């Protein structure tokens, strides 16, 4: 119990955002209306092994050093950014970074495999 409490305190102090409550059906609908994009923050090897069709590739390792200008070249400013990784941890960190840059970034609990199982198209 003490470890859980300590982890929650560290999470709160770190400024890392919680996971979005937006259901995957809503994510799909927002994407279909061109009001949102999916941002994959996994690393290159993971991306190469499979990714969601239409997702933007922005690995967390590069995002940590990215300037506001370089992000503006890669990301749409006025769309919801649904951020995903394998399990949610990197997505939370990445969304926190993106929110500080002014983006509407929403970290997904669902990882890559969950998205594929939910009907998102795996890129060939």
Q: Are 108 and 19 in contact (CB under 8 A)?
A: yes
Number of structural domains, the chain? 1
In this structure, is residue 5 part of a structural domain? no
In this structure, is residue 72 part of a structural domain? yes
In this structure, is residue 7 part of a structural domain? no
Position 9 scores a pLDDT of 41
Tens-digit pLDDT string for the chain (124 aa): 665 544 444 444 344 458 999 999 999 999 999 999 999 999 999 999 999 999 999 999 999 889 989 999 999 989 999 999 998 899 999 999 999 999 999 999 999 999 999 999 999 7
In this structure, is residue 75 part of a structural domain? yes
Position 18 scores a pLDDT of 84
Closest CA to 20 of 88, 69, 78: 88
CATH number at residue 104: 3.40.250.10
In this structure, is residue 10 part of a structural domain? no
Position 15 scores a pLDDT of 42
Question: Which range marks the domain in which residue 87 is found?
Answer: 16-117
Q: Are 33 and 26 in contact (CB under 8 A)?
A: no
Q: In 34-88, where does DSSP find H-type helix?
A: 44-49, 60-63, 68-74
In this structure, is residue 124 part of a structural domain? no
In this structure, is residue 8 part of a structural domain? no
Q: How far apart, in whole angstroms, are the C-alpha atoms of residue 19 and residue 7?
A: 16
In this structure, is residue 6 part of a structural domain? no
């Amino acid at each position: 119990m003490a470890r859980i409490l300590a982890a929650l305190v560290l999470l709160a102090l770190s400024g890392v955002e919680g996971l979005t409550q937006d259901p995957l059906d809503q994510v799909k609908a927002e994407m279909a209306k061109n009001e949102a994009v999916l941002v994959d923050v996994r690393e290159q090897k993971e991306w190469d092994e499979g990714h969601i069709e239409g997702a933007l590739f922005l690995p967390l390792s590069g995002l940590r050093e990215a300037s506001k200008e370089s992000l503006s070249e890669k990301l749409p400013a006025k769309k919801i950014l649904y951020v995903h990784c394998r399990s949610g941890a990197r997505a939370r960190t990445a969304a926190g970074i993106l929110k500080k840059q002014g983006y509407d970034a929403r970290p997904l609990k669902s990882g890559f495999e969950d998205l594929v199982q939910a009907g998102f198209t795996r890129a060939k």
